Amino acid sequence: MLGPELVAELREALLARRRDAERRLAALGGHFRDIVDASANSNADDEHDPEGATIAFERSQVDALARDARQDLEDVAAALVRLGDGRYGTCEVCGGQIAVERLQVRPTARTCVACAARR
């Protein structure tokens, strides 16, 4: 069972992770708009223009990073729900306790190390 001080520490780690993901997502949204704006007035054709491939790659890269940030937000939200209803720190696969050290390193962890290794 997690003590109140550890719960407070882990909650703060989750909230910090959420703030970081929100900042990343906002910055990536601005970067994506910059890429679109820069290519809007060009005659870039991804297939035939040498610059087109670079623009497509940059858009794809920003999109992947944004998906990661959104996934972080979902993971944090789910962890906060588990924290609130008393399921936080319990492995979703075997029902055992997730090691405190794992939670401190990865506060959104849903599984213990043994179950994560089996996946």
Query: Does a structural domain hold residue 43?
Result: yes
> Quick check: 72 and 17 in contact, CB under 8 A?
yes
Any domain includes 119: no
Which span out of 46-50, 55-59, 87-91 was modeled with the highest average pLDDT?
Answer: 87-91
- Number of domain units in the chain: 1
Whole-number Å distance between alpha carbons of 119 and 117: 6
Res 78: pLDDT: 98
Q: Which residue, chain included where needed, has tokens 């910055």?
A: 27
Averaged confidence pLDDT in the chain: 86
Q: What integer pLDDT is reported at residue 105 of this predicted model?
A: 95
Average pLDDT over residues 35-55: 59
For residue 117, which of 100, 104, 99 has the smallest C-alpha distance?
99
| Tens digit of each residue's pLDDT (9 = 90 or more) over 59-113 | 888 889 999 999 999 999 999 999 999 999 999 999 999 999 999 999 999 999 9
| H, E, C per residue of 41-94 | CCCCCCCCCHHHHHHHHHHHHHHHHHHHHHHHHHHHHHHHHHHHHCCCCECCCC
- Residue 82 counted as domain residue: yes
Q: Which domain holds residue 70?
A: 4-88
pLDDT of residue 69: 95
The answer to whether position 77 is within a domain reads yes
The reply to whether 84 falls in a domain is yes
